[in-house]
Amino acid sequence: MYSFEIERPTRLADAVKLLSDSTEAQALGGGQTLIPTLKQRLAMPERLVSLSGIDEIRGIRTDGEGALCIGGATTHAEVAAGAGAYPALAGLAANIGDPAVRNRGTIGGSLANNDPSACYPSAALASGATLVTNSREIAADDFFEGLFATALEEGEIITEVKFPVPEKAAYKKFEQPASRFALVGVFVAKYGDGVRVAVTGASEDGVFRWSEAEAALSSDFSAGALAGLSLSGDGMISDLHGSGDYRAHLVGVMARRAVEAA
């Protein structure tokens, strides 16, 4: 590790100012990704601005339109315990990492980092969620821009995520047993106007929507509707845990399991 400053603001406005005051400042959520990155010196910010003490961006509520709104600094464990209005989302959060990770990691930090194998990006994309920052609102369809890349600008903080609650939904993942990250994860959500299917862990471009599966399930919401559908292994992640073709096959398997669970 190396020398850096750490600030612990208790107001969002103070955090925004601290981040804007220096080009070498970086926001710190739960630290489950950033701290190991610092230890490896893959990132070397001069200042960390902790968001964990800002109560105004923490907690779970419902808005007037029935959406489940989750503060960006809300931990995975808090989502698992408090997102009962959206059981599929609560179940996803309950199976992230281990208890230590769930009690420190935050939903905002996970979405801002956009790890290609993280679970929350699939939930946000499949739900058609809206990501609220200190300066604007971003639709999930416009937020994810590739591996570890998002539409967030420098110093922008995710303050809340609004999840429209679907009629039916489920998330199924085939996890890498050591990290419990998704080797492949599929989130399926059925709404009145159609079905959305989002896949994480598989593509070299990060989380994506499987449009063919969405069309089939919008006509017939059953696992059988996915029979005959498949994805190419081209463009899928290939590593020591599995080839691109293997991951492409797993997408279909996890999608069918998610539909059956929903």
Q: List the pLDDT tens digit at each of the 262 positions of the chain.
A: 568 888 999 999 999 999 998 778 889 898 887 777 878 877 778 888 999 999 999 999 999 888 999 999 999 999 999 999 999 999 999 999 999 999 999 999 999 999 999 999 999 999 999 999 999 999 999 999 999 999 999 999 999 999 999 999 999 999 988 888 999 999 999 999 999 999 999 999 999 999 999 999 999 999 999 999 999 999 999 999 999 999 999 999 999 999 999 9
Check residue 25 and give its pLDDT: 86
Strand 137-139 and strand 130-133: the pairing is antiparallel
Q: Which residue is associated with the tokens 């103070």?
A: 14
CA distance 169 to 197: 10
Give all domains of the chain, ordered by start, each with its CATH number: 5-163 (3.30.465.10), 168-261 (3.30.390.50)
Task: Name the helix (H) or strand (E) containing 177.
Answer: none
Task: Name the helix (H) or strand (E) containing 116.
Answer: none
Check residue 137 and give its pLDDT: 98
> Residue 152 carries which DSSP code?
P
What's the full length of the chain, in residues?
A: 262
Check residue 64 and give its pLDDT: 85
Structure tokens, 182? 């998704």
Check residue 88 and give its pLDDT: 98
Report the candidate in 87, 93, 97, 98 with the shortest Cα–Cα distance to residue 108. Answer: 93
Contact 21, 155 (CB under 8 A): no
